[in-house]
Amino acid sequence: MILQSEVPTRTLVTGATGFVGRALLSSARDLTWRAAVRSVPGGMEAEVACVGDIDEKTDWNGALADVDCVVHLAAHVHVMNPSAQDARDFERINVLGTERLARAAAKVGVKRFIYLSSIKVNGEKTEAHPFRADDPPAPKDEYGRSKLNAERLLAAIEAGGDMRVAVIRPPLVYGPSVRGNFKRLLALVNSGLPLPLGSVRNKRSLVSVWNLCDLIGCLVRRAEPASGVFLVADDELLSTAELVRRMALLMHRRPRLLALPPPFLNLLGKLTGRGAEVRRLCDSLVLDTAPTRERLGWTPPLPTDAGLERTVSWYLGQLSA
């Protein structure tokens, strides 16, 4: 068991082979990591503990030995059209699996638990003001609700013991190995096809994987464990149209943007069964990260343009590989 004023000596990270996990291990080499994995992967530099599937039955005893901090990244991730099995996995992995790990960590004396949640706990779009950490939760889908339920269980575990829990709610995370809508947008811009987004004047918070990992590292390195909810984003807000322009510039392509009104785009989305995807392209989603910066003395180290440049470079490299 460690004192509140000590920096962790060994940190267990789940989801270590995933998009954020790999970036975290490679960007914070000064920290001592133990990677919780299903099976031993190739090329893993960190110490490894095989735990199998993460759910309500996972045995964490060996993985947590001599660990004084946990970074929990593993999750059943958001999908556009979730199935009944996805709904069961959100509950089994994101909720019950998180509870199982947190209770095991608290039992062995872990003092800090850092949980990667999602801004979807707050909702899908902002209107009157940016999302804040203390806003009433308003998740709109099963994934968002699973993250909220996990946060509530973690709060109850924290209240009953000495382990401090820091919850991070990021917006869309981009960087090498990004998937989903961001990768599809990269492909569309690179194709040179005209995109009907020229009239979209929304504002979106994004966060590069490097800035997200820097915040996680900040929370791990703090002399005193942090507690509470922390929103994270890059410094700059971008409209979808501006994001397309910057991607095109980095790809040395001319941005081809058609000016179709967002209401018409939303109608097209409904008619084609892609309403949720179109709404994400047209709606605003802005995070108020000032409390995170003030409480932790932290600022995002990487400018948005630099993060986009690295991501586009990775994407183009994948095409030529």
> For residue range 42-86, what is the model confidence (pLDDT) as tens digits?
666 678 999 999 999 999 999 999 999 999 999 998 777 778 888
Answer for the pair 167, 229: CB distance below 8 angstroms, yes or no. yes
Q: What is the mean pLDDT of the chain?
A: 93
pTM higher than 0.85, yes or no?
yes
CA distance 34 to 64: 9
What region, left, alpha or beta, does residue 173 occupy, with left being phi > 0 and alpha being psi -120 to 50 degrees? beta
Q: Tokens 């970036």 sit at which residue?
A: 23
For residue 299, pLDDT over 50 is answered with yes
Give the model confidence (pLDDT) of 199-211 as tens digits: 999 999 999 999 9
What region, left, alpha or beta, does residue 252 occupy, with left being phi > 0 and alpha being psi -120 to 50 degrees? left
Looking at the annotation, which residues are catalytic?
Answer: 143
pLDDT at residue 45, as a whole number: 66
pLDDT band at 4 (very low <50, low <70, confident <90, very high): very low
For residue 155, pLDDT over 80 is answered with yes
CA distance 41 to 207: 27
pLDDT at residue 265, as a whole number: 87
Beta-bridge partners for 195: 257
For residue 2, pLDDT over 50 is answered with no
pLDDT at residue 42, as a whole number: 62
